């Protein structure tokens, strides 16, 4: 214990926990000064010398030589007789520097010091981890699955720091086993009971954006900007991009040759379908692009209410709505407008409102909500398919069809 090799021992912390040597020296000195204050009621006349190169630590007590029998404070004064035991040349009034060994503090004090030091190192490690990941919020990190629970997955980074990926932040279809490598963004960092909690996400829009940055150099370099993202994780996403260089096709650059660039993103997101469209500040044009591949005939906008009435040919309605309504839902998310789809009424067709005396108004509204606002648009859909879309009873649908057929007959 005479020569504590504490600095070299804690070199490990520098490598594993990113605690630099100067910080470690400061903590060591603070811990030892705390011990001196408890032992001697003061640390003012003590020098603590830490040698980072040799990895040792020395404590020196400075006292003034006084005549024998005149010592009033043994901590700051030493008698001439005691001083000359150290060096015969000392005289009254001179300063004496005496090295203090750890044995002089006693076993209990040394044990307390070590516990205090370990606690301080742990707190420092937690604070450094919090600051490190606080600066990484919104960035992609990779780690190895250590444990899989029902509600979350525990992941270890390269330094074996613990990261959490909650079930709610996982892409539907994600399935992890111990040892798997996981890629996600740092969603948030919280300090709970003095312990940092690092939450990851794979469902955040920023994760999709960071993946594009990794796969598309033009985005990383700032030549192409991702303006907006609308995403239903694991199902489908729409990304609006813009280029500041007329020579660069932003959509083509993001997709890559034969889809090579976007394939990597889709694969990472468990085959999530991704549509990339050119961004424009023109709302009508943006809605048209967002509803792609449907071809729109006319749009009526209400900028105050942020609503858009979109009119299409009957053959285009199903494409605009998309499977399960995903296409129109994502288009609304991407543009910020509530979009209602209407079929263009042909001359020989009849608007559903004309049947309000035979069909109850609430049923007409249900049919309109699935894009059927004319008689022919209802009759073109198979009864079984119409039942699935509207949740109407089979008998009700059969009765409606008979009413509509009678009109044309």
CATH 3.30.300.20 location in the chain: 205-295+317-335
Q: When comparing pLDDT for 118 and 11, which is higher?
A: 118
Q: Which fold has domain 205-295+317-335?
A: GMP Synthetase; Chain A, domain 3 (3.30.300)
Q: Is the pLDDT of residue 362 over 60?
A: yes
Q: Which residues pair with 188 in a beta bridge?
A: 199
Q: Is the pLDDT of residue 55 over 70?
A: no
Cα–Cα distance, 59 to 65 (Å, whole number): 19
Cα–Cα distance, 89 to 253 (Å, whole number): 85
pLDDT in tens, 303-313: 999 999 999 98
Q: Is the pLDDT of residue 56 over 80?
A: no
User: pLDDT at position 347, please?
Assistant: 53
User: pLDDT at position 1, please?
Assistant: 40
CATH 3.30.1480 location in the chain: 6-131
Write out the two tokens for 100. 């203090």
pLDDT in tens, 19-33: 667 777 787 788 888
Lowest mean pLDDT among 41-45, 221-225, 383-387: 41-45
User: pLDDT at position 52, please?
Assistant: 62
Give the closest residue to 296 by CA, choosing from 286, 306, 304: 286
CATH 2.40.50.140 location in the chain: 142-201
* Across 193-217, average pLDDT: 95
User: pLDDT at position 179, please?
Assistant: 94
Q: Is the pLDDT of residue 110 over 80?
A: no
User: pLDDT at position 364, please?
Assistant: 92
Instruction: Give kind and range of the element (H or E) at residue 238.
Output: strand 236-243
Q: Is the pLDDT of residue 365 over 80?
A: yes
Determine what percent of the chain is predicted with pLDDT higher than 70.
92
pLDDT in tens, 233-264: 999 999 999 998 889 999 999 999 999 999 99
| Mean of the per-residue pLDDT values of the chain | 87
Contact call for residues 171 and 233 (beta carbons, < 8 A): yes
Cα–Cα distance, 85 to 69 (Å, whole number): 16
Lowest mean pLDDT among 109-123, 147-161, 181-195: 109-123
74 CA to centre of own chain: 59
Q: In the CATH scheme, what is the homologous superfamily, with its name and number, of domain 142-201?
A: Nucleic acid-binding proteins (2.40.50.140)
Long-range contacts of 388-397 (CB under 8 A, 24+ apart): 390/366, 391/366, 392/363, 392/366, 396/363
Give the closest residue to 290 by CA, choosing from 247, 227, 343: 227
Burial environment of residue 389 by CB neighbours within 10 A (0 to 12, 13 to 18, 19 or more): middle
Q: Is the pLDDT of residue 3 over 60?
A: no
User: pLDDT at position 140, please?
Assistant: 96
| Whole-prediction pTM | 0.66
CATH 1.10.150 location in the chain: 352-408
Determine what percent of the chain is predicted with pLDDT higher than 90.
50
Q: Which fold has domain 6-131?
A: N Utilization Substance Protein A; Chain:P; domain 4 (3.30.1480)
Q: Is the pLDDT of residue 216 over 90?
A: yes
pLDDT in tens, 142-187: 999 999 999 999 999 998 899 999 999 999 989 999 999 999 999 9
CATH architecture of the domain formed by 352-408? Orthogonal Bundle (1.10)
């Amino acid at each position: 214990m005479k020569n504590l090799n504490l600095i070299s021992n804690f070199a490990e912390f520098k490598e594993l926990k990113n605690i630099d040597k100067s910080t470690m020296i400061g903590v060591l000195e603070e811990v030892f000064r705390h011990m001196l204050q408890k032992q001697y009621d003061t640390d003012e006349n003590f020098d603590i010398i830490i040698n980072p190169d040799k990895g040792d630590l020395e404590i020196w007590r400075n006292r003034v030589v006084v005549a024998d029998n005149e010592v009033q404070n043994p901590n700051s004064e030493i008698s001439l007789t005691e001083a000359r035991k150290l060096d015969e040349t000392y005289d009254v009034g001179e300063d004496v520097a005496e090295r203090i060994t750890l044995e002089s503090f006693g076993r209990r004090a040394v044990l307390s010091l070590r516990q205090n030091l370990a606690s301080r190192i742990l707190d420092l490690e937690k604070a450094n981890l919090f600051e490190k990941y606080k600066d990484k919020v919104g960035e992609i990190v990779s780690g190895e699955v250590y444990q899989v629970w029902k509600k979350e997955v525990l992941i270890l980074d390269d330094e074996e720091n613990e990261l959490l990926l909650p079930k709610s932040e996982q892409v539907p279809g994600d399935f992890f086993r111990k040892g798997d490598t996981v890629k996600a963004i740092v969603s948030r960092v919280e300090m709970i009971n003095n312990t940092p909690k690092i939450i990851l996400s794979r469902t955040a829009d920023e994760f999709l954006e960071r993946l594009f940055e990794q796969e598309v150099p033009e985005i990383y370099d700032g030549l192409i900007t991702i303006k907006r993202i609308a995403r239903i994780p694991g199902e489908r996403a729409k990304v609006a991009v813009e280029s500041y260089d007329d020579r660069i096709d932003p959509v083509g650059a993001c997709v890559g040759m034969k889809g090579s660039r976007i394939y990597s993103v889709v694969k990472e997101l468990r085959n999530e379908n991704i549509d990339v469209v050119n961004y424009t500040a023109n709302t009508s044009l943006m809605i048209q692009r967002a509803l792609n591949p449907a071809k729109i005939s006319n749009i009526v906008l209400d900028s105050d209410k942020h609503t858009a009435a979109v009119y299409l040919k009957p053959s285009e309605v199903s494409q605009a709505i998309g499977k399960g309504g995903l296409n129109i839902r994502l288009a609304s998310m991407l543009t910020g407008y509530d979009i209602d789809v209407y079929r263009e009424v042909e001359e020989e067709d009849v608007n559903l409102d004309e049947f309000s005396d035979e069909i109850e108004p609430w049923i007409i509204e249900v049919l309109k909500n699935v894009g059927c606002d004319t008689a022919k648009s209802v009759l073109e859909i198979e009864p079984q398919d119409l039942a699935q879309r509207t949740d109407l009873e089979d008998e009700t649908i059969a009765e409606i069809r008979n009413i509509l057929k009678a009109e044309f007959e």
